[in-house]
């Protein structure tokens, strides 16, 4: 059976504590369990103080067969940052803008940009599948969307890994492949009805919103919008067309990360769990602490709140 672990973001010490809590033991740098395997939900890098050790732990486990892992948006971005753009000499698949560098700088500082270790990490990130569809459960970093999965079929190998020659197109904004990739690793984004917009935290008008795509009731744009609290009143209460939201058939439990949740871990729905509880977060409510969260799955169809396990970050 599997122990699914959410976004670690360079916090190796909480990860080790969580593995110990789950019954894994370390021997010569490899964490293993006599009967169970880990599934990592991606986002190993950026933000935290121990990014090299975090990647090492996960990589050794995956290569030894004691864990599986999917790609998070931060691994995708890391590969694109380090990959030259074949159509634009001197440029990269992820532009080296100040904004992008600031988001990635902590990792680059720790790994040493352009170092041999950096190149090893990028090569390993490329081997991570975008999703797992296993007997009894599914795993994807942000959103299980059948339409996007269909679009991406021709860009992946038989193990759901991005084909080497597909990386440029998957980073080109405005293509269906780019949009599908963004949905799987960053979440479902939909357009607001014509004439509607909201201002983001920088005061820029936006016409699209990220959604709580897993919600089954109260399906209006405002109900499902993932926008800053001070912008929610700008989102219309119009119903979202049924063909826009992917839904989830619920034939298997689904595990995602990405969404920086807080509070006591619990399922999003009877069949969907988010395991990202903001281990790298800041500015929490009084009494709230960042958590690294896992779910101990033993084959059940309906998720059990008692099977969430977590460790807290202690500054």
Assess if residue 14 is contained within a domain.
Answer: yes
> What are the φ/ψ torsions at residue 84 (nearest 5 degrees)?
-65, 145
Assess if residue 180 is contained within a domain.
Answer: no
- Per DSSP bridges, beta strands 254-256 and 137-140 are parallel
Contact 205, 227 (CB under 8 A): no
Query: Percent of the chain, pLDDT > 70?
Result: 97
Alpha-carbon gap, residue 179 to 189, rounded angstroms: 9
Assess if residue 7 is contained within a domain.
Answer: yes
Mean predicted lDDT score pLDDT of the chain: 93
The answer to pTM > 0.75 is: yes
Alpha-carbon gap, residue 280 to 286, rounded angstroms: 16
Assess if residue 184 is contained within a domain.
Answer: no
Share in percent of the chain as helix, strand, coil (round to 5): 30, 20, 50
Count of the separate structural domains present in the chain? 1
Q: Which of 42-46, 94-98, 259-263, 275-279 has the lowest mean pLDDT?
A: 259-263
Q: Which CATH number does the domain housing residue 100 bear?
A: 3.60.21.10
Show the domain range for 87.
Answer: 2-143+249-312
Token output for 52: 């090299």
pLDDT, average across residues 48-72: 98
> What are the φ/ψ torsions at residue 73 (nearest 5 degrees)?
-65, -25
The pLDDT of residue 218 is: 60
Q: 56: which residues sit within 8 A by CB, 6+ positions away?
A: 29
């Amino acid at each position: 059976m599997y122990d699914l672990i959410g976004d670690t973001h360079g916090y190796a010490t909480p990860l080790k504590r969580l593995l110990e809590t789950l019954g894994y033991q370390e021997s010569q740098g490899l964490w293993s369990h006599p009967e169970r395997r880990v599934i990592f939900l991606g986002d190993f890098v950026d933000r935290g103080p121990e990014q090299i050790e975090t990647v090492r732990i996960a990589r050794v486990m995956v290569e030894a067969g004691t864990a599986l892992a999917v790609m998070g948006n931060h691994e995708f971005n890391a590969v694109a940052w380090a990959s030259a753009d074949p159509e634009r000499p001197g440029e990269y698949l992820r532009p080296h803008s100040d904004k992008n560098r600031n988001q990635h700088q902590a990792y680059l500082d720790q790994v040493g940009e352009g170092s041999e270790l950096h190149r090893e990490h990028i090569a390993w990130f490329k081997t991570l599948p975008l999703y797992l569809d296993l007997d009894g459960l599914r795993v994807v970093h942000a959103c299980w969307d059948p339409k996007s999965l269909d679009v991406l079929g021709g860009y992946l190998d038989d193990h759901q890994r991005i084909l080497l020659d597909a990386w440029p197109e998957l980073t080109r904004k405005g293509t269906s492949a780019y949009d599908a990739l963004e949905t799987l690793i960053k979440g479902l984004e939909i357009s607001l009805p014509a004439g509607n917009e909201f201002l983001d935290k920088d005061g820029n008008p936006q016409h699209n919103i990220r959604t709580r795509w897993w919600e089954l009731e109260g399906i209006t744009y405002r109900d499902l919008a993932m926008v800053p609290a001070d912008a929610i009143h700008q989102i219309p209460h119009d119903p979202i067309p049924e063909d826009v939201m992917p839904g989830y058939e619920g034939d298997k439990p689904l595990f995602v990360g990405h969404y920086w949740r807080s509070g006591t871990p619990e399922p999003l729905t009877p069949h969907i769990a988010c395991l990202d509880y903001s281990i790298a977060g800041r500015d929490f409510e009084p009494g709230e602490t960042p958590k690294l969260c896992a779910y101990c799955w033993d084959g059940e169809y309906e998720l059990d709140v008692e099977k969430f396990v977590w460790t807290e970050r202690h500054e």
